[in-house]
Every structure is written in structure tokens, then in C-alpha cells.
């Protein structure tokens, strides 16, 4: 195990000091990263002290430091999980071979693509969320937003390290382009659609961290299986941070739901807007939107790329090792959704071609868990939130050319136009939500549209001054 050098210009556990060329290259990328952070990171609070967690190691016994830091001074580091002795490729044509410590020449382009697509999402979400700091519902939430933001910055560092260290000249160019593409930029947008949508309000932020960061979890979990060991170890450690982002989403939506239930009961009505709450129908429409755009991130139901990545040992399935099959999938098959003759049905596909769909299924099952938890609170008013049909509001794959209702009925364009205002956030919804977005900066105070958290951060009280100065 390499000891972490946390005092270096770039804190790391990859022995950067032992590779002067690489160190110099990354040290020249660093100021451009900071410049990007100041220009396209949070629009305010850059000079405030924020109570943040900083990664300083990767071990089980604790890997993070908590303390006040000004965001531009955050110690973005490069940390790979410890290597696993005698690790072998776990799937595909190379199953059983020792894992690769350098990029195999024949997979160079594919691996670079996988790293770039993942890496591009990290700064994208910081850009999408940059204005939210002006309207945080509490200092606790403001701090959580910043924690997510700096960690997405660190994830960018993780991918940029791989590009610089393993992909030579092309890798360095790709690393530069990470700071040149911008979320929503007409000429040079981020690579994936969902990362060019703005995150205009905190309700969107909570649903984004619940649904879209969870796509990140599943992508990272399948890259953690990679036969390219440095990628695997990088993603392994990123997943620890990612879990926190989903906590922010799950508890954020949960606290909104809790407040909505309180207001519904207290006023004995569904129409809680006059009382400064977010009504359940609006919550459902926001959920529908963020869930459906996140489903698109998994790609088309069948994909030659996904099949090739798997056969090559580059990207596995979620929890590959726990699956009870041959981990090669050359003869296996499954069904995938198929729309024909006015019906939503299924067709057979090879398991290899259908890997995107398999990952999407795993993701959907994971999404359900949080919805079930929210519904336990909603049982009090005899209501529930539901995940819409997988074909609802999709822009990628089999359903892209069809209109489906949230319960999975195929619709004509007219039926869609008539129904859509009940299914996706309307201008009116957005205006109402926006009207509730007022920054609350008194320690322990919460905006009226969401409940307080049950506990604070790192054993600090809820009314701790998480952001000060």
C-alpha cells in the first residue's frame, strides 16, 4: 500500500512525487482547475469558511478530515483504493487473467472514452448547481451542497489523473477539454443530456442527487469491476463519496415529504401551497422528470458498445462477483422492452447486447427503496409517490419515438399534450417552487417547505454554524 502524501501540492496516495513528469503535468492543470472552480463553481460563499470533509486516506478506519475550509483552498486529492492482491479479471473473454496495471493497446480508445464520459459528468453537476447557494433552505443544506460540489470536483481530479497517467498526449488533451465543455453551453455542451439541464431550485437538487447521482453510483460500480485495475481502484474510492450524495438526495426529499405531510394534516387539505408547502402532485411531477431523464443515462436497451466493453473486461455488471452465472454471457439471453403494433411488449436479446438494460433494471430496483421509505411517511395521509413506467418521457432508446403515460399506456400526440401538465412540472409548479426559494442563513433555522434533519453532520448539532464568515 502506498502511504498517502497529504501535504503535497496535490494530496495523493499514488506516489506522485515518484513521477516528476506526471506531477508537473498535473501541477500545471491544477491552476486551471481552480480558475474553473472560481468561475463556474458556486456563485457565492467562495471566501466563507465551510465545515467540509476532506479525503486524506482510503482505509476502513476512516478516510476523511472534517474542518472549516474556504472552498478554493479545498485539498482536492488523488486517492485510489488499496490494491487487491492477485486480483483477476472477473468477467468477459479475459476472465481469470491477472488484471492490467497499464492500458492494453487494443482497448485504449474504449477505456479513454469510458473515463472521459464519466469524468465529464463531475464538473457538469457543479456547473448545474452553482446558483443554488443563494437560496439554501438552511446552513446545514448549504454545507451539504458544497460538500457534494467539492467531491464532484475531486471526482474530476480522479478521472484527470487516469487520463494524464495512462493515456499520454490524448489523455492530457481530454483533461483540458473537461474544463472547456460547460453545462448547457450551446457550442460546447457536456457530453450527456441530463448534465446540460439546469438545476434551478433545491427541490430539483434533491431529486437530482437522488436519481442522477444514483446513475453515477451504478456507472462507477460497473467500472469498479474493470480489468483495468487503476480504474477499478479509482471508482471504488469514488463510490464512498457518492454514497453521501445519495444520502443528501434521499434525506432531502424525505424532509420535504415530511413537511408536506405535516401541512396536509395540519390544514386538512391537499392544497398546501397557500401554507408555503410543496403539494404532493408537484413532488410527483418533479420525481417523474428527474427519474425519466436519469433512465436515459443508461443508454439504449441494446448496445454493441456495452457488449464490447463487457467482453473486453472493461466494464462489468453491478456487483458482478455476486452473480451466479458464467460471467461471460456468450450464450445467455433476456428480454428487453419493445414497442410494436401499438403495444408495449418485449423481445429477446442476447444478455451481452442487453447489458445497459440490465444495469437500468438494477438502478430501478435501487431507486424504489427510497421511494418506499418516503411512502412510509406518506402512509399517514394515505398517499404515495410512485416511479413512472420505464417508457415514460424517454429520449433515448426504444421509447424515444413513443409517448407513454406514467402508468405505461401508449398515447397519441394529442393524448400526451392533454395529459402532460399532470405528469411533468408545469411553469406554475416551477414558479411556486421558485417562490419558496429564499436563503435561510441563521444556524438551525429551516425554510418552511422542508423539515429539519434528524441529526447534524459529523456529530455536530443541527444548529451548528456549518457555513460562517
* Residues at the interface with Fe ion (CB under 5 A): 122, 152, 155, 213, 216, 242, 245
Minimum CB distance to Fe ion, residue 315 (Å): 17
Q: Which residues make Cβ contacts (< 8 Å) with residue 438, sequence separation at least 6?
A: 135, 447
Minimum CB distance to Fe ion, residue 122 (Å): 5
Task: Look at residue 53 and give its three-state secondary structure.
Answer: strand
Beta carbon nearer to Fe ion, 198 or 266: 198
* Residue 211 per-residue DSSP state: I
Q: Is 322 exposed, middle or buried (0-12, 13-18, 19+ CB in 10 A)?
A: exposed
Minimum CB distance to Fe ion, residue 154 (Å): 8
Minimum CB distance to Fe ion, residue 269 (Å): 37
Please say whether the beta carbons of 248 and 148 come within 8 A. Answer: yes
Beta carbon nearer to Fe ion, 98 or 193: 193
Beta carbon nearer to Fe ion, 151 or 225: 151
Beta carbon nearer to Fe ion, 246 or 280: 246
Q: Cα separation of 412 and 410, whole Å? A: 7
Q: What is the length of the chain?
A: 469
Beta carbon nearer to Fe ion, 164 or 245: 245
Minimum CB distance to Fe ion, residue 127 (Å): 13
Please say whether the beta carbons of 449 and 256 come within 8 A. Answer: yes
Neighbours of 262 (CB within 10 A): 17
Minimum CB distance to Fe ion, residue 173 (Å): 22
Minimum CB distance to Fe ion, residue 141 (Å): 16
The residue among 328, 308, 354, 353 whose CA lies nearest residue 90 is 328
Q: Cα separation of 229 and 99, whole Å? A: 6
> Cα separations (Å) of 321 from 81, 89, 95?
18, 11, 12
* Residue 5 per-residue DSSP state: B
Minimum CB distance to Fe ion, residue 335 (Å): 31
Beta carbon nearer to Fe ion, 91 or 207: 207
Structure-block grid coordinates of residue 115: 473515463
Please say whether the beta carbons of 160 and 257 come within 8 A. Answer: no
Minimum CB distance to Fe ion, residue 34 (Å): 19
Beta carbon nearer to Fe ion, 213 or 320: 213
Beta carbon nearer to Fe ion, 129 or 260: 129
Q: Cα separation of 193 and 348, whole Å? A: 28
Beta carbon nearer to Fe ion, 234 or 260: 234
Strand partners, 5: 12
Using left for φ > 0, alpha for ψ between -120 and 50, and beta otherwise, residue 85 falls in: beta
Please say whether the beta carbons of 249 and 208 come within 8 A. Answer: yes
Amino acid at each position: 500500500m502506498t502511504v498517502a502524501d497529504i501535504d503535497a501540492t496535490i494530496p495523493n496516495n499514488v506516489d506522485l512525487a515518484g513521477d516528476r513528469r506526471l506531477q508537473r503535468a498535473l501541477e500545471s492543470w491544477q491552476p486551471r482547475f481552480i480558475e474553473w472552480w472560481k468561475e463556474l463553481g458556486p456563485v457565492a460563499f467562495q471566501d466563507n469558511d465551510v465545515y467540509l470533509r476532506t479525503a486524506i486516506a482510503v482505509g476502513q478506519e476512516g478516510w476523511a478530515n472534517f474542518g472549516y475550509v474556504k472552498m478554493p483552498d479545498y485539498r482536492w486529492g488523488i486517492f485510489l483504493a488499496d490494491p487487491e492482491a492477485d486480483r483477476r479479471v472477473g468477467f468477459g473473454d479475459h476472465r481469470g487473467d491477472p488484471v492490467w496495471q497499464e492500458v492494453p493497446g487494443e482497448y485504449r480508445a474504449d477505456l479513454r472514452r469510458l473515463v472521459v464520459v464519466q469524468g465529464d459528468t463531475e464538473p457538469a453537476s457543479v456547473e448545474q448547481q452553482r446558483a443554488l447557494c443563494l437560496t439554501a433552505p438552511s446552513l446545514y443544506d448549504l454545507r451539504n451542497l458544497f460538500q457534494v460540489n467539492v467531491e464532484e470536483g475531486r471526482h474530476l481530479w480522479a478521472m484527470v489523473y487516469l487520463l494524464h497517467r495512462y493515456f499520454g498526449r490524448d489523455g492530457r488533451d481530454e483533461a483540458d477539454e473537461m474544463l472547456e465543455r460547460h453545462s448547457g453551453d450551446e457550442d460546447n455542451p457536456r457530453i450527456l443530456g441530463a448534465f446540460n439541464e439546469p438545476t434551478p431550485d433545491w427541490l430539483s437538487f434533491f431529486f437530482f442527487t437522488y436519481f442522477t447521482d444514483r446513475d453515477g453510483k451504478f456507472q462507477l460500480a460497473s467500472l469498479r469491476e474493470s480489468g483495468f485495475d487503476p480504474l477499478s481502484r479509482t471508482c471504488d474510492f469514488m463510490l464512498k463519496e457518492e454514497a453521501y450524495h445519495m444520502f443528501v438526495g434521499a434525506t432531502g426529499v424525505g424532509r420535504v415529504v415530511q413537511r408536506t405531510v405535516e401541512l396536509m394534516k395540519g390544514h386538512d387539505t391537499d392544497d398546501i401551497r397557500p401554507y408555503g408547502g410543496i403539494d404532493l402532485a408537484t413532488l410527483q411531477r418533479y420525481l417523474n422528470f428527474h427519474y425519466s431523464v436519469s433512465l436515459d443515462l443508461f443508454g439504449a436497451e441494446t448496445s454493441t458498445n456495452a457488449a464490447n466493453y463487457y467482453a473486453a473486461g472493461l466494464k462489468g455488471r453491478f456487483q458482478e462477483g455476486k452473480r451466479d452465472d458464467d460471467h461471460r454471457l456468450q450464450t445467455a439471453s433476456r428480454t428487453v422492452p419493445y414497442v410494436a403494433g401499438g403495444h408495449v411488449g418485449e423481445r429477446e436479446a442476447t444478455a451481452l447486447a442487453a447489458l445497459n438494460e440490465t444495469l437500468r433494471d438494477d438502478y430501478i430496483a435501487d431507486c424504489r427503496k427510497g421511494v418506499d421509505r418516503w411512502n412510509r411517511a406518506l402512509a399517514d395521509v394515505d398517499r404515495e409517490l410512485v416511479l413512472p413506467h420505464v417508457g415514460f418521457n424517454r429520449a433515448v432508446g426504444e421509447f424515444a419515438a413513443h409517448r407513454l403515460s406514467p402508468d405505461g399506456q401508449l398515447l397519441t400526440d394529442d393524448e400526451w399534450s392533454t395529459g402532460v401538465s399532470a405528469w411533468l412540472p408545469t411553469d406554475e409548479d416551477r414558479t411556486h417552487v421558485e417562490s419558496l426559494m429564499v436563503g435561510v442563513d441563521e444556524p438551525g433555522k429551516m425554510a418552511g417547505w422542508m423539515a429539519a434533519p434528524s441529526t447534524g453532520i459529523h456529530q455536530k448539532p443541527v444548529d451548528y454554524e456549518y457555513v460562517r464568515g
